[in-house]
Amino acid sequence: MKLSQLFTKTEREAPKNEASVNAQLLERGGFVYKNNSGIYSYLPLGWRVISKIAQIIREEMNAIGGLEMFMPALVDKRYMDSTGRWDVEVAFEAKGKNEDEARFTLGWTHEEVITEIVSKYISSYKDLPFAAYQIQTKFRNEPRAKSGLLRGREFLMKDLYSFHSSEEDFLRYYEKVRGAYHRIFERCGLKSFYTLAAGGDFTANNTHEFQVLAPVGEDTIFICSKCEYAENKEISSLTNGVLCLKCGGEVREEKSIEVGNIFPLGTKYTEALNLQFTDETGNKKFVVTGSYGIGLGRLMGTVAEIYHDKNGLIWPESVAPYKFVLIALEHSREEAEKLYQKLLEQKAEVLYDDREDKTAGEKFADADLLGIPVRLVVSPKTLKEKSMEVKRRGQKSFELLKIKNFDTLLT
């Protein structure tokens, strides 16, 4: 894409109404637009990042047999009544203009909805197990929506639901999801810690969160320095400095961001919505389920919190909106345009800064702010050597590469 065609503009100053680094950088770069507290629009650059994250999530969900689907955001009251979750605090109610009472909640989770849907199709042990997921907007009336993308009142979530004939089968799948989650976060450049946690509005059982260490995190966890066993402070009896019960290592307290949460749900939802199957011996049993969430915006915000410097973002290549930013300095536009076309022909993801009204300094500053992994500069000086400058974001030094060898960039 040519930067001259991008309607968004970068900003030099951080927005006054944003306290968190992720929101400041993402707004300055024109990745997101804040419509309201906890309500953001994803602009073209930001949407490319979200799409990259969504693609990674899809690949890992599909690899463990997840089937993608899509459910309504308007969730009928009867679903939530069936489990007593209509009156939870986070819910936004929705009603027609001339109606007195809300008939819907804006979906903040979908256990009830999917359980009813699958009950139309599942009757025998032969129909199990299976898992389905969606990537969809969730709505939660968050009282503390002030951490930028980390806590939205409306946010994209990947929610996976799995259905099993036994607790053992469920546990096997739970471990598979655990592996898939670690891979997702790792592919996004994040080290995540598998953390024992509470069940919130979902279950009376313990659940597991995936926590990324970060000072801005709203969570506090205790983590073993040696074996990495971790517990959320909310439920933990550990304290800073005690010895780990598993391995004897030292436990330390850390601030962290919950990027994912997986829930063993047992038969809570299948009993409430009467989802039964007939087992091999002809007995009727309730289906055992789990649910598994990841917030895409929170994930993007977490990457921004971890990967930046004073000049802007430093996207890991896997989630960067573009891999290359190509900068044409004065009197080298023609050569730069040719290089741009060649890169496009090779399907390279390149943002071409062809703006005529910007100085070299402004272009360099924008390339840094946007955090594009590889910067290519074509100038009269480099053209003397029939070359371009190649520099990685976050590194100081650059190298010269012959333009005719541009394809070595693509491997």
- Interface residues toward ligand ATP, by CB under 6 A: 140, 142, 151-152, 155, 157, 200, 258-261, 293-295, 297-298
331-350 residues in contact with Mg ion (CB under 5 A) are: none
291 binds Mg ion (CB under 5 A): no
What gap in Å lies between CA 253 and CA 231, rounded to an integer? 10
279 binds, among ligand ATP, Mg ion, none (CB under 5 to 8 A by kind): none
DSSP-assigned letters across all residues of 105-172: EE-S--HHHHHHHHHTT--BGGG--EEEEEEEEEE---TT--SGGGS-SEEEEEEEEEEESSHHHHHH
Structure tokens at 407: 């394809």
165 binds Mg ion (CB under 5 A): no
Give CA angle at 179 (173, 184), nearest 5°. Answer: 125
128 binds, among Mg ion, ligand ATP, none (CB under 5 to 8 A by kind): none
What gap in Å lies between CA 257 and CA 251, rounded to an integer? 18
Q: Are strands 154-164 and 288-295 parallel, antiparallel or unpaired?
A: antiparallel
380 binds, among ligand ATP, Mg ion, none (CB under 5 to 8 A by kind): none
CB of 221 to ligand ATP, least distance (A): 12
195 binds Mg ion (CB under 5 A): no
What's the burial of 317, exposed, middle or buried (CB within 10 Å: 0-12/13-18/19+)?
Answer: middle
CB of 75 to ligand ATP, least distance (A): 15
287 binds, among ligand ATP, Mg ion, none (CB under 5 to 8 A by kind): none
15 binds, among ligand ATP, Mg ion, none (CB under 5 to 8 A by kind): none
Nearest CB to ligand ATP, comparing residues 163 and 263: 263
Q: Is 267 helix (H, G, I), strand (E, B) or coil?
A: coil
Nearest CB to ligand ATP, comparing residues 26 and 259: 259
Cβ count within 10 A of residue 298? 24
Angle between helices 167-187 and 44-63 (to 10 degrees): 140
Nearest CB to Mg ion, comparing residues 133 and 324: 133
CB of 79 to ligand ATP, least distance (A): 16
What gap in Å lies between CA 177 and CA 50, rounded to an integer? 21
Reported as half-sphere exposure (CB side, CA atoms, 13 A), residue 113 has a value of 22
Nearest CB to Mg ion, comparing residues 203 and 387: 203
Nearest CB to ligand ATP, comparing residues 244 and 294: 294
Nearest CB to Mg ion, comparing residues 218 and 309: 218
Nearest CB to ligand ATP, comparing residues 290 and 373: 290
371 binds, among ligand ATP, Mg ion, none (CB under 5 to 8 A by kind): none
For Mg ion (CB under 5 A), the number of binding residues is 1
Nearest CB to Mg ion, comparing residues 256 and 261: 261
28 binds, among Mg ion, ligand ATP, none (CB under 5 to 8 A by kind): none
Nearest CB to ligand ATP, comparing residues 83 and 278: 83
Is-contact 243 331, C-beta < 8 A? no
Find, among 186, 187, 175, 253, the residue nearest to 52 by Cα. 187
What gap in Å lies between CA 141 and CA 123, rounded to an integer? 37
Is-contact 376 392, C-beta < 8 A? no
Q: Is 43 helix (H, G, I), strand (E, B) or coil?
A: coil
CB of 219 to ligand ATP, least distance (A): 7
66 binds, among ligand ATP, Mg ion, none (CB under 5 to 8 A by kind): none
68 binds, among Mg ion, ligand ATP, none (CB under 5 to 8 A by kind): none
82 binds Mg ion (CB under 5 A): no
What gap in Å lies between CA 128 and CA 6, rounded to an integer? 48
251-280 residues in contact with Mg ion (CB under 5 A) are: 261
The 10 Å CB-count burial string (b at 16+, else e) for 243-260 is ebeeeeeebeebebbbbb
What gap in Å lies between CA 328 and CA 336, rounded to an integer? 6
Nearest CB to ligand ATP, comparing residues 111 and 354: 111
CB of 295 to ligand ATP, least distance (A): 3
CB of 185 to ligand ATP, least distance (A): 10
85 binds, among Mg ion, ligand ATP, none (CB under 5 to 8 A by kind): none
Select the residue whose beta carbon is closest to ligand ATP and give its number: 295
Structure tokens at 34: 């804040």
CB of 158 to ligand ATP, least distance (A): 8
Residues that bind Mg ion (CB under 5 A): 261
